[in-house]
A and B are shown apart, each in its own frame.
Chain A
Amino acid sequence: MSCCAPEAGVFAHATDVCGASPSREEIVLASRQATKNLREVRLSVPSIHCGGCLRTIERALANLEDVAEARANLTTRSVVVRWKEGLSPPPIAETLVAIGYPPHLGDNEATGADRSQAELVRALAVAGFAASNIMLFSVSVWSGAEVELRNLFHILSAFIALPALIYSGRVFYRSAWAALRHGRTNMDVPISIGVGLAFAMSLYDTIHGGPHAYFDAAIMLLFFLLIGRTLDDVMRAKARTAVRDLAKLTARGATVEHQDGARTYLPVSEIKPGMTILLAAGERVPVDARVQSGTSELDRSLVTGESAPLTITAGAIVEAGTLNLTGPLRLKAMAVAHDSFLAEMVRLMTAAEAGRSSYRRLADKAASLYAPLVHSAALLSFLGWAFATGDYHRAATVAIAVLIITCPCALGLAVPIVQVIAARRLFERGIMVKDGAGLERLAEVDTIVFDKTGTLTAGFPQLRDSPPADSRVLALAAALAAHSRHPQSLALVAANTVREAQNVQVDDVREVPGQGLEGRTGSGLLRLGRADWALHDPGTVSISSRYPRTILSRDGQLLAVFSFHEHLRAGAREAIDALKAQDFEVAILSGDHAAAVESLARELGIKRFEAGLRPGDKLARLKGLAMVGRRTLMVGDGLNDAPALAAAHVSMAPSSAVDVGRTAADFVFMRDSLEAVPFTLAVARRAGRLIRENFALAVIYNAIALPFAVAGFITPLAAALAMSASSLMVVGNAMRLNVGTLRAAERPERITPQASRPPNAIARVVE
């Protein structure tokens, strides 16, 4: 899939009103050669939720002709399908939609991240094997083996420890070396030095028949630290996969008309300026382009934050990522994908992220204090013992005991174990944590900035006075509206709960782009749309600009006026109330018109809001907040929010957000409810507290153990016991995140894998 560069993803919008399942062309584009005559594609299927789903999907796909193998995965909610090469691909997506599991195209790139995780797990396995075997010998030595046997066991331990230390320790040596080369120090420096010195010293003692060897301590140290590293990596990988697999749907390509009139479906990355693009209603604009012919309306909500569709005609310029709603368009591409509107956003984001990289992770902060302390303690005890006794061997043994006992075993686990448990907690509630650092930053937040369209609101309009007085008129309007993808039409269809629509016969329905819909019934010509088009005498309807309206008329006479308002995202009110109750400063930054923003802000009781902001303005507002020392959480979904998401101290995006938005955000919430925001904040704060407690535990442990080590009382047995005990203590403390105060905040919530749409709209997608 390297042909489809990441920029293709910008058009993704989860179960979009107009997004159908991937076409066969897209599946072929996304597939890869698995074996000599099999092609393989990975599809993300968010609605997989139980074992039964696995079987239903595998059976349905296996029954297709040409499908060689189908394997569904419950953990990653995806399915891998292999089919026989050469033929047109089997109707995979169609089959999945038919059985109720609409798929999205996943990302088929084998990422470097997966490889690093595999390396960590292998290193962990080797360290575990070596640690358990060496420990068998050590226990015999500690329980008083005779001198010859002890020496034999030490030699055997050395033979097992050497390859294991080399293989499993590479992760740490590499990172320590990289840090030292740049004149910095990190947690891995004392680890590498401690492990290396302990092994060298033990080897020397083994050769000379000494009584103590620290092979077990060295390898156990690596084992514990690798557990922490692996957990950290697993957590991030899990979130990465989940975020990556979110609906990478729609415009991975577009139909291009060549000079000779031939039409082909090209991936976005192959569309060049000057090409003629044929865009049907319901498709997203692939690259920035100029309209050559056609009239339609554009949904720009994901790009600019405007909630009302914009009417466009020939000559208009359309940005990549906007959604064509009502009529077919012929476009002339003006830029390649790299130079489109997205590129401007990416440039702003890169600049914004540079500011954030100054954040240092807690563990690194701790290490920069800790490493010099440990090293000077070890050096001082070496010098002290050397001066006091003149016995350099004894002095070295003590110094190494100090290094081992203070080695940041508990510190290495203190942060990742808490973050892994927190991430799991959040994952259960459909919230993905991209990086542990996000959790640390979130705990410091004092200001929360929301985008409006698609974040505080659901991103689609709702009929204001529903249920309306006259259900028959609504049924009539809905019967017409069922033929359109316009957001207001969808809202009308959704509002028509009385299923009279079936009884209404409307013929010859056609959509007049930019105007509305018209159709015939027995009693006359119905029109649904703009007042000046639907009515003979538009002056009869009073003009109210507060809410967008649409008119239903029969033969030019007014039947009904429908007005719409933006529909709050589920849980928005509760979330805002909860945040205000906790004394967070809440603000709205929106790209939409002032009137729409103001009415929403008033409805939610938010005092600070700004409207009509361009992406650069949002970025500037966030930088301004950072300048006065505010730590902001930005919650947004649109392309126009992406730079702000990257600039904020920490950021969240709903799963319906554009691709770059999800990439820029530290957290992505998969379920509808905005209550994910206060919940995540609560978890992050609690995790922050537990991490500090863990650090305190590790420090206390060291404060107790260090004097013993300096005094020379630490034998290998004592070191092993102390290390295990401190690690267990830290892990046990982290487990407390699973119980306690958060319980109250939790309420059972219906699982909706994607942003919900009005029920009828979902039905349309499935059709």
Chain B
Amino acid sequence: MSVLVYLIPVSIALGAIGLVAFLWSLRRGQYQDLDGAAERILFEDEDVPD
């Protein structure tokens, strides 16, 4: 059962990374135009985020 010593922190860390990533994307306004995002993927020219 000593493997739990690694697995538990890893599982919590993975969850925390997901949480932080979500909060970051929220702060950057990535959910402000969901309809637009669905369309922009079809643009041919480079759409470089700032």
Contact = CB atoms under 8 A, between A and B. Distances in A.
A55 interface: yes
Given A118-B26, A122-B23, A125-B23, A160 B36 contact: no
Contact of A51 (B15, B16, B32, B40): B40
Contacts, number: 50
A136 B19 CA distance: 16
A732 to B, nearest CB: 24
Nearest to A128: B19
B43 to A, nearest CB: 6
Interface string B23-50: 1001000001111101110110000001
A129 B33 CA distance: 24
Contacts of A121: 26
Q: Is the interface of B mostly helix, strand, loop or mixed?
A: helix
A75 B39 CA distance: 11
B3 interface: no
A657 B23 CA distance: 39
Contact of A73 (B22, B23, B36): B36
B36 A54 contact: yes
Q: Is the interface of A mostly helix, strand, loop or mixed?
A: helix
Nearest to B42: A51
A126 interface: yes
Nearest to B50: A69
A628 interface: no
B40 A125 contact: no
B1 to A, nearest CB: 7
A51 B39 contact: yes
A133 B15 CA distance: 7
Contact of B34 (A55, A75, A132, A160): A75
A149 interface: yes
Contact of A74 (B19, B23, B39): B39
A380 interface: no
B37 to A, nearest CB: 8
B33 A75 contact: yes
Interface in A50-100: 50-51, 54-55, 69, 72-76
A75 B36 contact: yes
Given A118-B26, A160-B12, A75 B42 contact: no
25 contacts: A51-B39, A51-B42, A51-B43, A54-B39, A55-B43, A69-B50, A72-B36, A73-B32, A74-B33, A74-B35, A74-B36, A75-B33, A76-B33, A121-B26, A125-B19, A126-B19, A129-B18, A129-B19, A132-B15, A133-B11, A136-B11, A149-B1, A149-B4, A156-B8, A156-B12
Interface pairs A-B: 5 shortest CB-CB = A51-B39, A74-B36, A129-B19, A74-B35, A73-B33
Interface of B: 1, 4, 8, 11-12, 15-16, 18-19, 22-23, 26, 32-36, 38-40, 42-43, 50
